[in-house]
Amino acid sequence: MANTWGYGAMTNSLNDIQNAKAIIIFGANPAVNHPVGFRHLLVAKERNNAQIIVVDPRFTRTAAHADLYAQIRPGTDIAFMYGMLNIIFKNGWENKEFINDRVYGMDDIRKEAAKWTPERVSDVTGVSTQKLIQITNAYARQTPGTLLWAMGLTQHTIGSSNTRIAPILQLALGNMGVEGGGCNILRGHDNVQGATDMCCLSHTLPGYYGLSDGSWKYFAKSWGVDYNWLKGRFKAKEWMNKKGFTLARWYAGVLAGKAGEDKIHNAGTNLKALVVLGNGITSIDQQAKVKEALDNLELIVIADPFVNEAVVLTDKKDDVFLLPAASQFETSGCVTATNRSAQWRSQVIEPLYESKTDQDLMFELAKRLGFYKEFTKGMLMKENKKSFKWPEDATDEFARIIKTIGFTGWTSKRLKNHQKNWDKFDHVSLMGYGPMKGEYYGLPWPCWTETHSGSPVLYDINRSVKEGGMGFRNRFGLMHDGVDLLAGKGSAPKDSANPDGYPEITAKNIEKVLGITLSASEKKRIGKNWKVDTSNIIAQKCMERGMAPYGNAKARANVWTFPDRIPMHREPLHSPRQDLVKEYPTYKDKPNHYRVDTRYASEQDKEDWSKKFPINLITGRLVNMNGAGVETRSSKYLAKLSPEMFCDINPGLAANHDIKNGDMMWIHSPSDTKIKVKARFTYSVAEDRVFLPMHFAGYFQGEDRSAHYPKGHKPYAVGESANTVTNYGYDIVTQLPETKGGLCRIEKA
Amino acid sequence: MQNTTQKALSTRIGRRSFLKMAAVASAFGATSAFASGNVTRAATKEEVKNPFPGSKLVKTICTSCSVGCGVIAEVQNGVWVRQEVAQDHPVSLGGHCCKGADMIDMVRSEIRNKHPMVKENGEWKRISWDSALDRISKKLEDLRKTSGPDSTMFLGSAKFNNEQAYYFRKFAAMYGTNNIDHQARI
Amino acid sequence: MSSFARMKFYCDEKRCIDCDGCSVACDEAHELPVGISRRKVILLNEGIEGKEFSTSVACMHCTDAPCEQVCPVNCFYIREDGIVLHDKNICIGCGYCLYACPFGAPQFPTDGAFGTRGVMDKCTMCAGGPEPTNSDAERKLYGQNRIAEGKVPACAAMCSTKALIVGDAQSVSKIYRERVASVGHGVQSAPYGWSKAYGK
Amino acid sequence: MKKVILLCLSMISAFAQSYAGKVPLVSQNQGVYDGTSRLNSPELLHNIMLYQNWGGLFVNLQIHWFRTLFFGITVGVLVVFFLHYIVIGPKKFAHDGKAIYVYNLFKRIIHWMAALAFVIVIPTGFMMIFGKELGGGTLVLDARYLHSIGTVLFIVSVIPMFLMWLIPMLATFDDVKWLFMAGGYLTKKKVVVPAGQFNAGQKMWFWLATLGGFVMIITGAAMYFEDFDLAILKSLNLDQIDILRISAIVHNFLGMAVTALFVTHLYMSLFAIKGSLDSMISGNKSEDEVKYMHSSFYKKLKKEDKI
C-alpha cells in the first residue's frame, strides 16, 4: 500500500465512514473485531442508505448486517477485485479524470482486468456471476465508497498484492482522498499502527526510514550517539543494512541446520536468545516449530502481565525467565489508533505487585549491558536537560526526529490537551471546536508542524495542506518508462501555491519549487531534505505555501520493484483447486527472505495437497478475545463466554465425518500436526471449510499442558492453539504467514 | 394487579418517592445523554453522594483494539475501583465491546504475574528483580560476545505505547541487531 | 402511573452485533459471580443469510411486571419511574418470578451448602435496592446504584453500537422513531419482547 | 392486565416466525456449553415467542387461583370435619376386646417417618404459599430449605411404604360399595363397612401419597435444581423453562389434593375414630373396630383362623 501512494495506513477514519454511501469489506470482521468502530458503519447505513457489502469466506457477524454478501474461496480476493474492475471498465464507471491526473499505470490494470470475465472470476472465487455483477453495481455506482480490510486480505502468500489491488480498485473509482471513501485498514491491536510507525520491525528504523547508511547516520545524530559507536555495536556494518528475522519466522533462525529446515543467513549464527515483551507468540503460525525452537534456545526472557503461554508450550527446563510487566494502565504514553490519530493513555494506577513497566525493564537491562547513557540521551537533547521525564520526553524525542510521517506536531503537550478536551470534537469529521478549533482529534499524522491540524483524510486535495490536505507522495522518482510520475495539472491541494504536481522538497529545490527565497540563516539551518530536516524549515515554508513537503505525485498501480508489477492472482501454496494451480502458480522459492530461505513453488508442487487435505481452513477472532488471548482468558467474565476451544463446522460436513455437535474432533495439517477440538455446528461456514478461533493455548496436539503453568496463574480458559495446524506459507514481500486459507483434514476423535 | 403495585409502592417507596433521574444513552446525542426535560430534575446532594468518596477520574484508552475507545477510570486511594463510561469520547461515545467493558479486570485479575520467576530444572522459582536482571544481562552479554548480537531475537508488542515501541527499537539497534519484530507481522 | 415517566429498555436488533459488551459491562460493573448473567446477548439463526440476528435481553422492567404479581412473598416493588426492584432480604428464592418472566431475567446463584439455590438476582437497571443509597450493603447485594448518581446504566452506556438504549419512554420512542424513519434502517417491527414488556 | 400480555402474543409470534423460518435453529452456545445456565441459552428468545404456552397459564394460576384454592380447600375441609364432629360425632369402638396385631414395627416406623415428613413438608409448603402474610425473608427462606429436607425424609419413607402396602392397597369391589355409603361416616349408627385391610378412603390417600408423592418429588426436584440436563426431557420437546412452569402447576394442584387428604387422614385418626391412633403406636387394632370398619378383612382373618 505504501508502495502504491506513499503511506501504508488507514486513509480515512472510522468516524469518516459515516460519510460513505457504499461500504465494501474484504477479509475483515469489524462487528467482531472492532465493534465500536462498526457503529459508524451502521450509522452510514441508516443515514445515507449506504449498502454494506461483505466479501468473506465465512458468514460473519458483519455479514449478518450486510446488504450483500459473497462467500468467497479463501485467497481469491485478487480475482474477485479484477472481476469488479472488469465490469467497471466495461461499463465506463471508472473516474477517468482522477485516473488521468493522479494514477500511474492504470492501463496495465485495464489489460489484466479484461482477462477476468465474470465467468472466470466465478470459477476461481466460487462466487456466482450474478452476485459479482450485483456487488459491483452496488459499489461502483455509489460514490463515495469506502473499502475496508484487515488480516483476511494480508495473511496470504499474495497478501502484499491483495493490499495493492484494493487501493487500485479505489483509485479506479476515484474514491481516494475524499470524505467517505478511502482504503481503511482495520488494525488489530490497540497500537499496531503506533508500534509499526515506531518500527519495532526488522526492516526499517522508526518512521519507516529504512536501513540505509543515511538513515542510520540520521538516527545516530538524533539519538546523540556516535555513528561509529553504533556501527561497532553490530557484528559488521553489513548487518546494519540487512533486514532481520520476523515474528513470523524467527523460529527458523533457531532450527536452521536441522534436517528438513530452511537455510538462514544470520551473521553466521543461529538464534540463541529470545527476548519477548508482551507478545503472544502462541498466536503465530507453525506452533510445532515454535515449540521446537523454544526448546532449543539458550535463553528465554518473557515480560508480560499474564503468563505468556510460550513458557507453557516449551519443555525447556532452565533459563526461562518470566517477568511481571505492568499493564498498559500502569504506565502512560500515547497510542495510535487505526486512523493514525494519537491518544494519550494516562496512567491509572502504580504498577501492581512487583511488576515493572516495559521502559523500566529496558532501562535496567541497558544499564547492565552498558549503554544506558546512549540509550536515554535522546530524551535530554531537545532542551539540553540533566534528567528526563518519562514518557513526555520520549514523545517529544520522536516528534523531533520522525519527519517522514509528519510527527513533528505530536508533542506530549498537545496530545495531553486533546485528551483533556476530547469532548470538544465533532463526531463525524473529528474537527475540534471551542479551544480545540482548527485541530482534528488525535492529530492524525502527518501533522507537519507544531500548529498543524493533523490530516483526517489522506491524499485529500479538496482541503488545503494546512488543514490536512495533500496529494499522493512523491516517493518513486519523477519519471518511469518515460511517463511523468508527478500529479497532473490542477490536481494540487486547495490553496496550493503550485496548482500542479511537484516533487518532494529538498534543501536544493525548495526555493524553486516553492517559489521562495530563504534567508542566509535559514539556509544554514535547513536539513538536506524534508525527511531529515530537524530545523523543520521545509515543513513550515511548505505550510505557508500550501504545499505538502513530500511533493504531489501520482499513485502507482504498477510497482516495478515488486515480484508482481501489478497484482496477479496466485493460488495459495496449499490450494484445494489443483487444476488452478497450474494456471496461477505461486512464486519461485525465495532465498534469504528476511534472513531465511522460503519455499514457494517447491512447497506448492510437492504433492497434490488437496487429495489428503480436502478442507479449507480459516482462522479468526472471537469478540471476547484478543490476540493470543491470555489477557482475555484471564478474565472470568470474558472466559465464560467461550470457555473452550472449538471448531466451527457446517452440519453437512460434520455429518459426512460422523461428527455430532459437541463431539471432539481432530484437525490434521499438511505439516503433520494435529489438534483436538470440540465441534460446534453452524451454518456460517460452507461445507468445504472449517473455522478456528485463534486465541487459545495451553494444549498442544491433544496434550494438556496445564501443569506447565506456574501455580495459580493458569487462565480461566485453555485450549488448542489454532496455529498449530495453520499451513506453511509466507507473503512474498512482508513475510506475513498464510493463516487464512490453508488446508486440513478432519476426523472424529 | 394495580392494587398490589399501589400497595407495594405505598409501603416501600418511602425514601424513593421521587424520580431520581432518567437517562438515555443515545447515538444521536450522547453529549446530551443526561436527558433533561420534564422527566428529570436535579438530584439532591444526598442522592449523588459518591459511592467512592475522594475518588478521581482518569481518562485513558482501551487496550483491546485499534478503534481507540475512551475509558474513564475511577481511582480511589491509588486503587482502580470502577470503570466509568467515557460517553463524551468522540470515537466511541462511551461504547465498548465486551473486552473494553472489562478493562478493569485486566488490571485486577488475580492470576496476574506478581513477581519475577525463573524455571530451574523444570520448576518455577520466585526470584528478585535484581537477580533476574543480572542473570539475564549476563547471559545476553555472553551470547553477544560468543555468537554476536544477531544471536538474539527481540519481539516487541503492539500493546506498547508509542514511546515504549520507539525505545524498544532503539534498544535492539543499540544492542546491535535488526532481529526485532512485533505483531504487525502476524 | 403516568407513562412519560416510565423507564424502558430498548434493543435495536438492526444494530445489535452480538458483541456481549452489555453483558460483560453488567457483570463487571456489579462484580457478579460467574454463574450469574443479569444481561445476556442472544444470537439466533447463526450463519443463515438474511435471518441471523441478535438481541440483548435482561429484565425489561415490564409494565404490570408478572414477576411482581406471582411473588409469594411480595419482595418486589416498582418505583414510580417503572423500575422493577426487589428486596433480597425478603426473597426466598422460590423461582416463581423466573417461571413468570417472559425474558428469563431472574437469576439464582448457587450458594450455601449442598449447592442450594440462593435468593434471586436480576437487573436493577443499575438502581440498587431498598438499602440506603450507595451504602456498602446495597452495593454488595445489588451492585452499583448508578441511577442515584445520575448515571446511565452500565449496559446501555457501554453498548458498542448504541443498539441498547435505556431511558424514559418518551426519549426512547423518540430515538426509536428517528431510527425507523432513517432511510437505511428498513422496515422495523417492534423489537423482540417489546409489546410483551410494555404493552403495545 | 394479564389479558393484555396474552393478547400481544399473536403479534409477537407472527413476527417471530418471520425470523425463525423453517431453518433449524443452530444456537450459539450449542456444543460449547458454558457451564452456567441453560436458561441463558438462545432458548430464552424462543421462550419469549412461546410464552403463551405455559408462562401465561402459570402467571394466571398463581395470581388468581393457587392461594385461593389452597385457602379454600384447607378451610373447607376443616369446616366439613368440624361440622361432622358436631353433627355426627366420632365413632367409638370397644377397646377392651381382643387386639389384632396389624402393623408390625417396621411398618409403624415407616409410617411415622412419612408422617414426620408430611408434618414438615405441608406446613412449610403453606408458609411459602402464604409467604406474603409471613413477610418473607429468613423465616420463609428457611421454611423452603426445610421443605427440601422434609422431602429427603419423605423419599426415604415413601419407597418402602409403597412396596409394603402395594398389594393390600389394590382396588377391590368393596371399595365401590364403600364409596357409595361414604364409608359409613354419614351416620351415627355403627354400620358394617365393606372394606379389606384398608378401606377405599385409606387407599385413595395411599395412592395419592405414593404416586402423587413421586410426582411431587419429581416436580419439586425440577424446581429445586432448576437447571438440569436430562436427555429424556429433551425428547419431550419442551423448553427448560416450560418444564419448570408445568412442574410448578402440577406441584401446586397435587399439593392441594395432598393437603385435603392429609387433613382428612388426621381427622380420621385423631378424632373420627376414637383410639385409632393406638393402632399405629402399638400395632394393635381392636377387634370391634376391625369387625365394623374392615369387615371383609375381619371375615378373611376369621376364615384363616387368625383371630
Chain B hits for C82, Cβ within 8 Å: none
pLDDT at residue C53 in the model: 86
Residue A4: which region, alpha, beta or left (left: phi > 0; alpha: psi -120 to 50)?
Answer: alpha
- Domains held by chain A: number: 2
Within a domain: A69: yes
Mean pLDDT calculated for residue range A209-234: 93
Q: Is A485 within 8 Å of A474 (Cβ atoms)?
A: yes
**Is residue B3 within 8 angstroms of chain C, CB to CB?**
no
pLDDT tens by residue, A503-537: 999 999 999 998 899 999 999 999 899 999 988 89
CB of A79 closer than 8 Å to CB of A115: no
Look at residue B7 and tell me whether its pLDDT is greater than 60.
no
| Residue A200 to residues A114, A394, D133, Cα–Cα distance (Å) | 41, 15, 71
* Whole-number pLDDT of residue D33: 34
User: Could you give the CA distance from residue D35 to residue A716 in angstroms, rounded to a whole number?
Assistant: 13
Beta carbons of A200 and B180 less than 8 Å apart: yes
pLDDT tens across A47-79, in order? 888 999 999 999 999 999 999 999 999 999 999
Contacts of D14 in chain C (CB under 8 A): none
For residues A165 and A82, the answer to whether their CB atoms sit within 8 Å is yes
> Cβ of D32 and A644 within 8 Å?
yes
Domains annotated for chain B, with CATH where assigned, are 1-49 (no CATH), 54-108 (2.20.25.90), 115-139 (no CATH), 148-186 (no CATH)
ipTM of the complex: 0.88
Quote the Cα angle for C120-C126-C127, to 5°. 85
Over the stretch A636-648, which tens digit does the pLDDT of each residue have?
889 888 888 999 9
Interface of A with B in 701-740 (CB under 8 A): 710-716, 734-737, 739
Q: Which range is least confidently modeled, A418-427, C148-157, C177-186? A: C177-186
Residue C200: predicted pLDDT: 58
Is A317 within the bounds of a domain?
Answer: no
Per-residue confidence (pLDDT) for residue D22, from 0 to 100: 26
Structurally, chain C folds into a number of domains equal to: 1
Under an 8 A CB cutoff, do A349 and B186 touch?
Answer: no
Task: Quickly state the pLDDT bin for A236 (edges 50, 70, 90).
Answer: very high
pLDDT value for D97: 72
Q: Smallest CA–CA separation between D69 and chain B, in Å? A: 18
Q: What are phi and psi of A675, to 5 degrees?
A: -135, 155
Q: Say which CATH number the domain at C117 has.
A: 3.30.70.20
Cβ <8 Å between B46 and C133? yes
The answer to whether residues A112 and A137 touch, using CB atoms and an 8 Å cutoff, is: no
D82 Cα distance to chain centroid: 23
The confidence score (pLDDT) of residue C196 equals: 74
For the cut 60, the answer to whether the pLDDT of residue A89 exceeds it is yes
Please state whether beta strands A674-681 and A646-649 pair in parallel, antiparallel, or not at all (unpaired): parallel
CB contact under 8 A, B87 and C152: yes
How far CA D5 is from CA of A76, C66, D42, in Å, comes to 52, 9, 22
Separation of first and last alpha carbons in chain B: 61
Tell me how crowded residue C122 is: count the other CB atoms within 10 A of its CB: 26
CA distance C87 to chain A (A): 26
Select the residue from B13, B97, B110 to test the C interface by mutation, using most C Cβ atoms within 10 A.
Answer: B97
Does residue B64 sit at the C interface (CB-CB below 8 Å)? no
Q: Chain C contacts of D129, Cβ < 8 Å? A: 72
Most confident of A695-704, B26-35, C50-59: A695-704
Phi, psi of D203 (to 5 degrees): -65, -45
- Going by pLDDT thresholds of 50, 70 and 90, the confidence category of residue B36 is very low
> What does the mean pLDDT of chain A come to?
91
Q: What per-residue confidence (pLDDT) applies to A502?
A: 92
What is the structure's pLDDT at A58? 93
**A 330-349: CB under 8 A from B:** 330-338, 341-349
Size of interface A-C (CB pairs under 8 A): 78
SS3 at position A425: strand
Location of C-alpha cell 396385631: D101
Whether B88 and A423 lie within 8 Å, measured CB to CB: yes
Minimum distance, in Å, between the CA of residue D145 and any CA atom of chain A: 30
Residues from chain C contacting residue B30 (CB–CB below 8 Å): 162
Please give, one letter per residue, the 3-state secondary structure of D146-208.
Answer: HHHHHHHHHHHHHHHHHHHHCCCCCCCHHHHHHHHCHHHCCCCCCCCCCCCCCCHHHHHHHHH
Nearest Cα of chain B lies from the Cα of A658 at a distance, in angstroms, of 34
What average pLDDT does range C16-25 have in this prediction?
Answer: 92
Residue B20 near residue C82 (C-beta atoms within 8 A):
no
Instruction: Round to the nearest angstrom and report the end-to-end CA distance of chain D.
Output: 67
What phi-psi label fits residue A92: left (phi over 0), alpha (psi between -120 and 50 degrees) or beta?
left
b/e code A607-620 from CB counts within 10 Å (16+ = b): eebbeebebbbbbb
Domain boundary among A185, A216, A249: A185
Q: Which of A185, A209, A242 is the last residue of a domain?
A: A185
Residues 24-83 of B with CB under 8 A from A: 27, 30-31, 58-70, 73, 75, 78-80
The x, y and z cell numbers of residue A334, run together, are 500515547
Range of the domain at C19: 3-198
Whether the CB of C171 is below 8 Å from some CB of chain A: the reply is no
pLDDT band at A1 (very low <50, low <70, confident <90, very high): confident
**Per mean pLDDT, which range of A16-30, B24-38, B71-85, D106-120 is the poorest?**
B24-38
> Containing domain of residue A662, as a range?
604-748
CA distance to partner chain A, nearest, from residue B51 (Å): 19
Measured between beta carbons, which residues in chain B are less than 8 angstroms from residue D63?
A: 1
Task: Give SS3 for C126.
Answer: coil
Contact C64 D8 (CB under 8 A): no
Place C184 in a pLDDT band, splitting at 50, 70 and 90.
low
User: pLDDT per residue over A370-404, tens digit each?
Assistant: 999 999 999 998 888 889 998 999 999 999 999 99
The predicted pLDDT at position B48 comes to 57
The predicted pLDDT at position A618 comes to 92
CA distance readout (Å), A338 to A37, A191, D292: 10, 8, 96
For residues A461 and A494, is the Cβ–Cβ distance under 8 A?
Answer: yes
- Of A321-325, C166-170, C172-176, C188-192, minimum mean pLDDT range: C188-192
How far apart CA D244 and CA D249 sit, in angstroms, is 9
**pLDDT (mean) for A314-325:** 93
From CA D241, how far away is CA C96, in angstroms rounded? Answer: 11
C161 contacts chain D (CB < 8 A): no
Q: What is the pLDDT of residue D241?
A: 82
A145's CB contacts (< 8 A; 6+ apart) are A20, A21, A22, A23, A24, A139, A170, A173, A175, A180, A181
Position C34 scores a pLDDT of: 82
pLDDT at D1 over 50: no
Q: What angle do CA A530, A549, A546 make, to 5 degrees?
A: 145
> Stretch B162-182: mean pLDDT, rounded?
93
Percent of chain A with pLDDT over 90: 74
- Quick one: pLDDT band at residue B16, thresholds 50, 70, 90? very low
Going by C-alpha positions, the residue among A576, A711, C63 that lies closest to residue B5 is: C63
Cβ-Cβ contacts under 8 Å, B165 against chain A: 191, 194-195, 198-200
Which of A78-87, A709-718, D43-52 is the least confident region?
D43-52
Judged by CB atoms closer than 8 Å, whether chains meet at D45 and C195 is answered as: no
Q: How does B60-98 read in b/e, with b if 16+ C-beta sit within 10 Å?
A: bbbbbbbbbbbbbbbbeeebbebbbbbbbbbbbbbbbbb
Kindly determine whether residue D141 and residue C119, on different chains, have CB atoms separated by under 8 Å.
yes
Across the range A240-256, mean pLDDT stands at 92
**Chains touching chain D, criterion 3+ CB pairs below 8 Å:** A, B, C
Mean per-residue pLDDT of chain D: 79
Percent of chain D that is helix, strand, coil (3-state, to 5): 70, 5, 25
Shortest Cα distance, chain B CAs vs residue A594, angstroms: 9
Residues C116, C118: Cα–Cα separation, whole Å: 6
Q: Which residues in chain B touch residue C162, judged by CB atoms under 8 angstroms apart?
A: 25-27, 30, 93, 95
pLDDT on residue A333: 93
Chain D residues in contact with chain B using a Cβ-Cβ cutoff of 8 Å? 1-2, 63
Cα separations in angstroms, C188 against C176, C191, C198, D7: 10, 8, 17, 21
- The pLDDT confidence band at residue A233, using thresholds 50, 70 and 90, is very high
The answer to whether A376 and A382 are in contact (CB under 8 A) is no
Domain ranges of chain D: 1-49, 64-303
Q: How many other C-beta atoms are found inside a 10 Å radius of the C-beta of residue A667?
A: 25
What predicted TM-score, i.e. pTM, was given to this entire model? 0.87
- pLDDT-derived band at A587 (thresholds 50, 70, 90) equals very high
Residue A702 has pLDDT above 80, yes or no: yes
B114-128, D60-74, D279-293 — which is least confidently predicted?
D279-293
How confident is the model at residue B22, as a pLDDT? 29
Rounded Cα distance between D25 and C43, Å, is: 10
A234 CA to chain C: closest CA distance, Å?
48
Which residue in D has a C-alpha nearest to residue A660's C-alpha?
Answer: D31
- Give the separation between CA A156 and CA A741, rounded to whole angstroms: 7
Query: What are residue B60's DSSP bridge partners?
Result: B71
* CA nearest to B155, candidates A515, A202, A490: A202
CA D14 to chain A, closest CA, distance in angstroms equals 22
Question: Is A31 in Cβ contact with C15 (below 8 Å)?
Answer: no
Distance of alpha carbon A364 from alpha carbon B70, whole angstroms: 32
Cell 485513558: give the residue.
B60
Q: What pLDDT is stored for residue D23 in this prediction?
A: 28
D30 and chain C: CB distance < 8 Å anywhere?
no
- Alpha-carbon distance A121 to nearest alpha carbon in chain B (angstroms): 28
| CB interface of B with C, residues 121-180, below 8 Å | none
- Helix (H), strand (E) at residue A366: helix A358-369
**What mean pLDDT is reported for chain B?**
77
The residue type of B93 is: L
What are the pLDDT digits (tens) for A472-489? 999 888 888 888 889 888
Task: Please report, as a single letter, which amino acid is at residue A623.
Answer: V
DSSP state of A184: E
- Of the pLDDT bands very low, low, confident and very high (cuts 50, 70, 90), residue C3 is very low
The pLDDT tens digits for A136-148 are 999 999 889 999 9
> C113: pLDDT confidence band, cut at 50, 70 and 90?
low
DSSP-derived 3-state class of residue C7: strand
Looking at domain D64-303, its CATH superfamily turns out to be Transmembrane di-heme cytochromes, Chain C (1.20.950.20)
Q: Which chains touch B (3 or more CB pairs under 8 A)?
A: A, C, D
Q: Give the residue ranges of DSSP H helices in A92-224.
A: 96-102, 106-115, 118-125, 129-140, 151-154, 159-172, 192-197, 213-222
Query: Which of A185, A207, A240 lies at the terminal end of a domain, its last residue?
Result: A185
List the 97-136 stretch of D: residues with Cβ below 8 A of C: 128-132, 134-136
Q: Could you tell me which residues come within 8 angstroms of residue B71 by beta carbon, excluding any fewer than 6 positions away?
A: B59, B60, B61, B62, B83, B86, B96, B100, B103
Residue among A343, A350, A501 nearest A422 (CA): A343
Query: pLDDT tens digit string along A5-36?
Result: 888 889 999 999 999 999 999 999 999 999 99
Query: What type of residue sits at position A431?
Result: M
Written as nine digits, the cell of D241 is 423453562
